[in-house]
Amino acid sequence: MKMILASGNRKKLAELKRILEPMGFEVIPKDEAGVTFEPEETGATFEENALIKAQAICVATGEAAVADDSGLCVDALGGAPGVFSARYAGENATDGERIDKLLAELGGVPEKKRSARFVSAVCVCFPDGSRAEARGVCEGRIAFERRGSGGFGYDPVFLVGEKSFAELTAEEKDAVSHRGNALRALEKKLRELGF
């Protein structure tokens, strides 16, 4: 089954392809399907944003579309940055600038109070109006400094056990990550729908 990815993020595309393709789902980037716009994320939750993106790309292409909306929720910051994770340090900020802001805001917060979780909501919308949705979570904590050179986004400061996401291999990360958990739950729902 073919799905159009409702994102222009190449690192997210690589991760979704890596997890979904062994399940038998072909993931095509939206630009290869002729879509040049980014749907505006106006939802208040990860689920609302994933639905907005998947619906927009499904309508634009007439094909099944998959979207992921994910973010980092830090307990010491009242759940921030949450749905604003990508825009946390401003609209055009780099991953490094977002991490710098996060670490600055957590300055003085002791290790035992640096608990956090990555959350991923995924949604597939079909041309007939039906959809499948799932949510995945990965519990961890925020490091005091960057560790590792892999991954993207907040991966260098998100610790699972003694390693950051950026220190894990792709396979290790996929096995425990919020996105991996969400996509495995989504696969189960799609199988139940007969895909």
pLDDT of residue 52: 97
Q: What is the pLDDT at residue 64?
A: 96
What's 2-192's CATH class? alpha beta
Largest CA distance in the chain: 52
Q: CB neighbours of 88 closer than 8 A, spacing ≥ 6? A: 80, 81, 98, 101, 102
- Partners of residue 125 on adjacent β-strands: 65, 131
The residue ranges of every structural domain in the chain are 2-192
pLDDT less than 70: residues of the chain: none
Check residue 195 and give its pLDDT: 82
Residues labelled catalytic: 69
Pairwise CA distance, residues 139 & 157, whole Å = 13
- What is the DSSP secondary-structure string of 14-71? HHHHHHHGGGT-EEEEGGGGT---------SSHHHHHHHHHHHHHHHHSS-EEEEEEE
What is the pLDDT at residue 2? 92
Give me the residues paired with residue 160 across strands: 163
> Can you give the pLDDT at residue 127?
96
Q: Output the pTM of the full model.
A: 0.92
3-state secondary structure of 3: strand
